[in-house]
Amino acid sequence: MGKFIDTHTHSQFSPDSKTTVRELLERARETGAAGIALTDHLDLDAPRNPGLFEFSIAAQQQAIAQAEREVFPGGECKVLRGIEIGLQPGESLQHSKDYISGHEFDQIIASIHFVDGEDPYYGNYYEGKDFRRAYSRVLELVYLTAKQFGDYDVIGHFDYVARYAPYDVKDIRYADFPDEMDSILKMLAQDGKALEINTKTYAMHGSHLQVLDEMILRRFKELGGEFITLGSDSHESERLCDKFPQFFQVCQRCGFPRLTYFERRKPVLYTP
């Protein structure tokens, strides 16, 4: 296996993960990963649990620095300070800006976790909606909130809404949402930002294992997109770099021979 950089992981600073930063780094050492970004959840104004998805950025960065000194004293692995910010339209965007101001990051992921006050994880969001309506609203929000927020490097799991969907076929195909996808992909290409392939989405079991439509990557290339990150979205150390060789091949097929990570908010291309 090539040496990959996992750009999306969750540690004990995320309420839905118990894995320590140190355990994640030890796993990176065991598997010979080239790098890891710790991207804990910041979801202000969460509809069901306001205050649950918040953490002390200073404490997280301190834990990262300490674990890095202990596990990689010779700097054998890139250890990157990240955050995954859940965006919602309206004044919540400013709350997130205020929360992160004064901190330095290597990489900021912008994600959509909540839609119009609903959490797709619980299923209510899909009630009374067919897949077209349910997905197009989310893709529209991915575009609008990222555009307005601006201060991010990567769009996280653009297809998150499909993960928990009740439809027989859950895949988000370019052919079904060409305008919505084009808005997102053009914005990323023009602003020099990255599209994430989130391998957790394609690892979830159910009646249909969701697939990534390669047309989306080909279209991104066509529109001038340069940067693709691979993220496991691992909440336990075992999934670090899960399925990366497989999705690196997909990238290569679609015109992206190199992958990207961010260091001090600048994209760096690398070959695993």
* CA 254 to mean position of chain CA atoms: 20
Least distance CB 8 / Zn ion (angstroms): 6
Q: Among residues 84 and 153, whose Cβ is nearest to Zn ion? A: 84
Least distance CB 40 / Zn ion (angstroms): 8
**Residue 93, H or E segment:** helix 92-100
Contact between 229 and Zn ion by CB under 5 A: the answer reads no
Q: Among residues 107 and 111, whose Cβ is nearest to Zn ion? A: 111
Determine the interface stretch with Zn ion among 16-24, 80-88, 89-97, 117-125 (rule: CB under 5 A): 80-88
Contact between 19 and Zn ion by CB under 5 A: the answer reads no
Q: Among residues 180 and 233, whose Cβ is nearest to Zn ion? A: 233
User: Which residues of 112-221 form beta strands (DSSP E)?
Assistant: 154-155, 194-198
What is the rounded CA–CA span in Å between residue 211 and residue 198?
11
Determine the interface stretch with Zn ion among 46-54, 91-99, 226-234, 248-256 (rule: CB under 5 A): 226-234
Closest CA to 270 of 262, 39, 203: 262
Contact between 111 and Zn ion by CB under 5 A: the answer reads yes
Q: Among residues 137 and 258, whose Cβ is nearest to Zn ion? A: 137
Determine the interface stretch with Zn ion among 22-30, 111-119, 128-136, 257-265 (rule: CB under 5 A): 111-119
Least distance CB 75 / Zn ion (angstroms): 26
Contact between 145 and Zn ion by CB under 5 A: the answer reads no
Burial 144-158 (b: 16+ CB within 10 A, else e): ebbeebeebbbbbbb
Contact between 233 and Zn ion by CB under 5 A: the answer reads yes
**Residue labelled with tokens 């697939």:** 211
Least distance CB 196 / Zn ion (angstroms): 10
What is the rounded CA–CA span in Å between residue 263 and residue 202?
26
What is the rounded CA–CA span in Å between residue 228 and residue 245?
14
For 174, phi then psi, to 5°, come to -55, -40
Contact between 9 and Zn ion by CB under 5 A: the answer reads no
**Residue labelled with tokens 């910010």:** 85
- At residue 84, the 3 state secondary structure works out as strand
Contact between 43 and Zn ion by CB under 5 A: the answer reads no
- At residue 240, the 3 state secondary structure works out as coil
Q: Among residues 100 and 215, whose Cβ is nearest to Zn ion? A: 100
Give the binding site for Zn ion (CB under 5 A): 84, 111, 233
